[in-house]
A and B are shown apart, each in its own frame.
Chain A
Amino acid sequence: MTPVAKKNSAAAPKLIIEGLSKQYGSVTALEPTHLTVPTGEFLTLLGPSGSGKTTLLQMVCGLVEPTSGRILIDGRDQTQTPVHQRDIGLVFQHYALFPHLTVAENIEFPLRMRAMSAAEIKQRVKDVLTMVQLDHLAARFPRELSGGQQQRVALARSFVYQPSIILMDEPLGALDKKLREHMQIEIKQLHRETGATIIYVTHDQEEALALSDRICLMNHARIEQLGSPHEIYAHPATAFAADFIGISNIFRGKVDTSNGEARLATPQGKFRLPAGASYSGAEAAIVIRPEQISLGGDNGNTVVGRVTDAVYAGSETRLIVNLDQGEMVIARLPPGQPAPAYGERATLSWNPDAAVLVP
């Protein structure tokens, strides 16, 4: 398989989802949803369990029939196409390798289904095995492989026939943390080398941040926010988005404009809002990331409390402070800065512009 130059997102969209929804009796698994995925994109569906991400994935590959809406792949309506004619790659969490077939035979399977010539099958299997570095295991059976190797075979099997879209349903969920991080790099590399369009389901926000071109954050059977990892991290659209991705300090309160300047009145104090923040209702919340909070000083907004813990994590120290008004704040101390001792009083502050106002 030759590396394909990654097409930019100006190319025709690979997948268009129009008003797709799924209803199980009175339970809504997915509200009518619109989504467009450009060719070559790595899109992650991220969300807690029951948020509708797996339902969406299963409808795209055809394992679940939608209640309403359309699915267009390469501009063609595929809503009614049966699974086996959709030309989609699917990687399961449980690998779904065929236990009675060898590694090579597993990878051959989709090629045989497409009635390719023996010579081409041989060549493609060889190439893809090289790509996932499993050449030496071609004649083994899945049960003779480690978890990581099995997942590489599953990846190879879904890449070998160059399907139009590759769907991955929590493919690294069964692996331990170290192996998971290693496989993330491999998947990223495969994506770069093949230029495939990948839709990846996970509930692990770190994985989503590490892998994705864009993240589609889902909650309560609908899309909460869609954007690049940086956009979602730096500019969460909702308190849920802020809370789900990364560590956040969230203060809820009422917007108070009585003194000419808008402030957020919370039980923990009145805080200045970021410049140019727009708000619609009176209820709002501000979100501050731990790395935006510094110990001591006065950067505009200040809170005071007692240190309950300092968690040393190698490259940083997380300081946990219990505010006098009964709220917990997490601050990130840069390496080298000494942390105050347990029980000491501490003043924390942040620049109002570093915070994000969310409804």
Chain B
Amino acid sequence: MNGKGTASMTAITAPAAPLRQRLLRPNALWLAVPGIAFLAIFFLYPVLRLLALSVQDPASGALSVATYARIANTDVYLQVLGITFKIAANTALFSILLGYPLAYWLAGLKEGLRERMVLLVMVPFWTSYLVKTFAWMVILGRTGVINSMLTGSGLASQPLPLAYNEFGVMVGMVHAMVPLAVLTMLPVMIGVDRRLIQAAQALGAAPAQSFWLIYFKLSLPGVTAGGLLVFISSLGFFIVPALLGGRRETMLAQLIITQVQELLNWAFAGALAAMMLVAALVTVWLYDRLFGLSSLSGETSAQDRGPGRLRLLGLTILRIIAKASAVLADVVRRVIGASGTRRLLPIYCTLALMFLVLPTMLVIPIGFTSSQFLEFPPPGYSLQWFETYFSSPVWLSATLRSFGVAAATAICGTIIGGLAALALARSNSRWGGVVFATFLAPLIVPRIIIAVGLFYLFAQMGLVATNVGLVIGHTVLALPFAFVTITAILKNYDWRLDQAAAVLGANRFKTLLLVTVPLVKGGLVAAFLFAFITSFDELTIAIFISGGIKTTLPKQMWDDMILQLNPTLAAVSVVVFVIVTVLLLLAERFRRTT
């Protein structure tokens, strides 16, 4: 290149801008800053502070491992830790086992029918844990539905111990978690190319073999992701073990609540929370090492890394299972015939959906009972328990507070989450992945840890027992849902429309207001409703933050359920169930019409 050419080249390539200028250059990622700041103050800081408390001496503030030493030396705590792991692992296992055939069946349906059937999983997914657990208490209790039927018909001479033991906890936990497992596995399964099954069969694989060798292998990322989410969610559970378990089913979260509420032992609660968090993070880390975190977002491509030994071992195991189940399928087909075999899956799925939906439905007639007791079927019907509910100042103020807090949470969550989603959609910065993970983090960290951390922070800020405190806490939890919903909508948005608006003379703000927002309106409404529901039936944060008379509806239900089951609870459950279901169906409708 001659001298002249070089000169003109330099003239064209502007010198690199100084660092400060580059950082401050208008970049869409700046829109995520309010959200990041919010999460840094009200999520990251309190959680880290809580962990720090666990290694501090309460009196001097010096570094100390005394609390951990106490945990390690006390059998009870180690036992609780073991029980927590065992229950969480079993819940994950059973949720996947029960959910897999259901997700498989749903994935194979035609799209229109599938969307309607998925609602039967969505409704139990969003139904309040309290309502679900209340239903199981009514069903499994000593004088519950099942026992009164068994003793009434003479099948059993005395009530079976169905609740307040491990069985009761597992039923409640699995029932609560199967929807999460199904909804996590479903996108992966829909992504599996079913034509590969045809190809496998044309190449000589029997149907059972083509399932295990091809379909099952390709759906594994969904299975592991579902297992992971269920396991982590279960680690922090306390509603089900507290209400359906006995002493021997005490889980870590219950211990934390006791330490904070009754003993005010922050260091100890911090240490217990740290253990739970470490357990969750180690699980996530292991998962990432084994399967890659990207499969969490529903990508189908199984990242097989070369012909490693582990991979070959997996294939060999699958081949053995495939061969065995091909033989088994042959036997089954001979016994019940080909048409009978084809009916097995739909029959199972009908039963599974009934298991998910019916228990909650049972609460509805009980809410209208004329009896003083939780009997099923009710001896007669009346509106007396709704009257009790609506004439009780405690219940009414709790309901109103829940509505107000949920509305405020939904507005905050949608705005903050929407800006962050917009930032991520419009920016191709390499920080995008970090931002995405930050906004999903409140979903991964067990709620109980966030709640205790916030309680400590709010105690210093004077926000305990205030509506503002509740809204902030609920916004932390609702953000991931709003963020994910809007991100999904923006993924399908045609950004050339924004360019067209710009060319036609609209500035950025007007473009957003007049073009983008109207077009993604449905997604925004859906995000708003999901955030609303999240807040409306939130209990964990409410237990700590909504003290005294400033209680929310779920907190009031929880207090009542611990004290004494009564038909008013059934009436309240009916109201909560109906509100949440209606909002959910609306949200789904808006989400889909965008």
Contacts and interface: CB of A to CB of B under 8 A. Distances in A.
B304 A83 contact: no
A102 B307 contact: yes
A87 to B, nearest CB: 7
Contact of A96 (B196, B205, B206, B301): B196
Contact of A113 (B209, B300, B302): B209
Contacts of A85: 204
Interface residues of B, number: 27
B301 A143 contact: yes
A124 to B, nearest CB: 14
Given A113-B204, A113-B209, A99 B319 contact: no
A96 B202 CA distance: 11
Given A84-B207, A92-B195, A143-B301, A100 B202 contact: no
A90 B214 CA distance: 17
B199 A90 contact: yes
Contact of A99 (B198, B203, B209, B301): B301
Interface string B492-515: 000000000000000000000000
A99 B218 contact: yes
B315 interface: yes
A290 to B, nearest CB: 40
Interface in A72-126: 82-90, 92, 94, 96, 98-102, 105, 109-110, 112-114
Contacts of B304: 100, 141
Contact of B319 (A82, A90, A112): A112
Interface string B194-225: 01101111111111011001100110000000
Interface in B280-315: 300-302, 304, 306-307, 315
A96 B201 CA distance: 12
A161 interface: yes
Contacts of A90: 198-199, 202-203
A62 B203 CA distance: 12
Contacts of B201: 82-84
B218 A83 contact: no
A111 to B, nearest CB: 9
A97 to B, nearest CB: 8
A94 B205 contact: no
Contacts of A99: 218, 300-302
Given A112-B319, A143-B301, A96 B204 contact: no
A61 interface: yes
B217 A109 contact: no
Contacts of A62: 202
A110 B213 CA distance: 12
Interface string A227-252: 00000000000000000000000000
Contacts of B301: 99, 143
A161 B204 CA distance: 10
Interface in B169-205: 193, 195-196, 198-205
A98 B204 contact: no
Interface residues of A, number: 32
A100 B218 contact: yes
Contacts of A113: 203-205, 209
A96 B199 contact: yes
Nearest to B209: A113
A62 to B, nearest CB: 8
Nearest to A113: B204
A112 B323 CA distance: 11
A203 interface: no
B195 A109 contact: no
A340 to B, nearest CB: 46
A62 B306 CA distance: 35
Contacts of A158: 203
B202 to A, nearest CB: 4
B205 A84 contact: yes
A220 B206 CA distance: 34
A160 to B, nearest CB: 10
A158 B307 CA distance: 23
B195 A84 contact: no
Contacts of B196: 96, 98
Nearest to A63: B198
B307 A89 contact: no
A157 interface: yes
A111 B205 CA distance: 10
B285 to A, nearest CB: 24
A341 interface: no
Contacts of A100: 217-218, 302, 304
B307 A109 contact: no
B299 to A, nearest CB: 12
A83 B307 CA distance: 30
A139 interface: yes
Contacts of A96: 193, 195-196, 198-199
A109 B302 contact: no
A114 B198 contact: no
Contact of B204 (A84, A102, A141, A143): A84
Instruction: Please indicate which of the listed interface residues A94, A112, A157 has the most CB atoms of chain B within 10 Å of its own CB.
Output: A112
A101 to B, nearest CB: 8
Contacts of A88: 202
B388 to A, nearest CB: 57
Contacts of B207: 82, 84
A109 B39 CA distance: 50
Contact of B200 (A87, A98, A114): A98
Interface string B207-249: 1011001100110000000000000000000000000000000
Contacts of B206: 84
Interface in A123-167: 139, 141, 143, 157-158, 161
A101 B300 CA distance: 14
A228 B302 CA distance: 46
B204 to A, nearest CB: 4
A304 B206 CA distance: 66
Contacts of B200: 98, 109
B202 A139 contact: no
Instruction: Please indicate which of the listed interface residues B203, B207, B302 has the most CB atoms of chain A within 10 Å of its own CB.
Output: B203
Contacts of B217: 100
A83 B202 contact: yes
Given A63-B198, A96-B196, A99-B301, A110 B204 contact: yes
Contacts of A61: 202
Interface in A174-226: none
30 contacts: A62-B202, A63-B202, A84-B201, A84-B203, A84-B205, A84-B206, A85-B204, A86-B202, A88-B202, A89-B202, A90-B202, A94-B195, A98-B196, A98-B214, A99-B218, A99-B300, A99-B302, A100-B217, A100-B302, A100-B304, A101-B315, A102-B307, A105-B315, A109-B205, A113-B203, A113-B205, A113-B209, A114-B204, A139-B306, A141-B304
Interface of A: 61-63, 82-90, 92, 94, 96, 98-102, 105, 109-110, 112-114, 139, 141, 143, 157-158, 161
Given A84-B207, A158-B203, A161-B204, 6 more contacts: A83-B198, A88-B202, A90-B199, A90-B203, A96-B193, A139-B307
Closest 10 CB pairs of A and B: A96-B199, A113-B204, A90-B202, A110-B203, A83-B201, A84-B201, A100-B302, A110-B204, A113-B205, A100-B217
